[in-house]
Amino acid sequence: MKAATTTTTDRIPGPRPGEAGADAESAHRELFRLNRSRLDSRLLARVEEIEKGWILPLIDSVEAAGEPVPDRAAWQRLLDGLLAEEREPSPAGTYLADEATREEFTLVVREFALDGLTEAQNFFPAVPRLPIKSQMAVMRVLIDEFGCGNLQQAHSQLYRLLLAELGLPTEPEHFVDTTADETFQFLNVFYWLTQRAPHVEYFLGALAYLEASIPDAFTYQARACERLGIAHGRYYTEHLHIDTFHMQEMQLAIKEYEAAHGLDPARLWTGARLLSGLIGGAFDAAVARARELAGGAVA
Ligand SMILES: [Fe+2]
Ligand SMILES: [Fe+2]
């Protein structure tokens, strides 16, 4: 996976000292715990406080740097350009695919365990915000993510099998203390996009980007699994296959949204660039950290 040169990786701030949400060492970890909790009014206020110091300035910075997007076709062209840039081999991805040791690869798998084990759960709150024909397209994606109700096909279960093979725990709570802020940002952004973002087009643009980018991005991990003789690499190879359909469903979801409500395509582009920056930053940081930590104990 590659953070494209036009994305926001370098600009993505965490809450900085003195900003709202910056009083804890890791506001992003706290936010993730809150996002997975039942929120009363006090806890929701804390969520909003952290998000105010993090995601709102981030959205502003992405929007300020964005080019004009007059219509859906222009958004599609911009997205295609971003995906083409990201298809260029990245140093982190190439290292992981071709050189990483099993221990380094295991550390990267551990880093994304909270994502793999909770995959797509945080997309559901977007559904009631969409017109019915968009809902159907998004639901077809979600049904696949949950294995059409078959545990053995559920993406989270595929990740669980991979974790087990690598000798790691298989439940999310084991990873909260070891996951890095860059990864928490990528996780937390979907809770905001689906529940608190003022416009659901940000979510549509973000998920359309994510589904379109994964068939290329996961080739690195798939290659690493093959090279290292890891039997449960299907989590990655399944995505190479199924996300080519999911990207089409998200295009349809957006088309139907436009037909029902009209569309601000600039918000789609903001969502895409936001996700590109967050996931690219998380991946690069995860590989770098794995290389630093390798040789030490994998908890
Ligand atoms: Fe998936
Ligand atoms: Fe998908």
23 falls in which pLDDT band (50, 70, 90)?
A: very low
Q: How far is the CA of 209 from the centre of ligand 2 (A)?
A: 11
Q: How far is the CA of 89 from the centre of ligand 1 (A)?
A: 22
The CATH number for 246's domain is 1.20.910.10
Do 283 and 4 touch, CB atoms closer than 8 A? no
What's the rounded Cα separation, in Å, for the pair 129 and 150?
27
Residue 7 has pLDDT above 70, yes or no: no
Q: How far is the CA of 296 from the centre of ligand 2 (A)?
A: 34
Cα pseudo-dihedral 119, 122, 125, 127, rounded to 10: -30
DSSP code of residue 65: T
pLDDT digits (tens, 9 = 90+) for 50-94: 999 999 999 999 999 878 999 999 999 999 999 999 999 999 999
In the chain, the largest separation of any two C-alpha atoms, in whole Å, equals 55
Q: How far is the CA of 102 from the centre of ligand 2 (A)?
A: 26
Q: Which domain holds residue 133?
A: 70-293
Say if 137 falls within a structural domain: yes
- Give bridge partners of residue 21 from the DSSP assignment: none
What's the rounded Cα separation, in Å, for the pair 193 and 244?
22
Amino acid 247: pLDDT: 97
Task: Specify the number of domains making up the chain.
Answer: 1
Say if 3 falls within a structural domain: no
Say if 64 falls within a structural domain: no
Say if 94 falls within a structural domain: yes
Q: How far is the CA of 56 from the centre of ligand 1 (A)?
A: 27
Say if 179 falls within a structural domain: yes
What's the rounded Cα separation, in Å, for the pair 277 and 121?
21
Residue 278 has pLDDT above 80, yes or no: yes
Say if 159 falls within a structural domain: yes
Residue 267 has pLDDT above 80, yes or no: yes
Residue 215 has pLDDT above 50, yes or no: yes
Q: How far is the CA of 140 from the centre of ligand 2 (A)?
A: 10
Which numbered ligand comes closest to the C-alpha of 210? 2
Residue 4 has pLDDT above 70, yes or no: no
Say if 199 falls within a structural domain: yes
Residue 10 has pLDDT above 70, yes or no: no
Q: How far is the CA of 142 from the centre of ligand 1 (A)?
A: 8
Say if 29 falls within a structural domain: no
DSSP letters spanning 178-241: T--HHHHHHHHHHHHHHHT-S-THHHHHHHHHHHHHHHHHTHHHHHHHHHHT-TTTHHHHHHHH
Q: How far is the CA of 246 from the centre of ligand 2 (A)?
A: 5
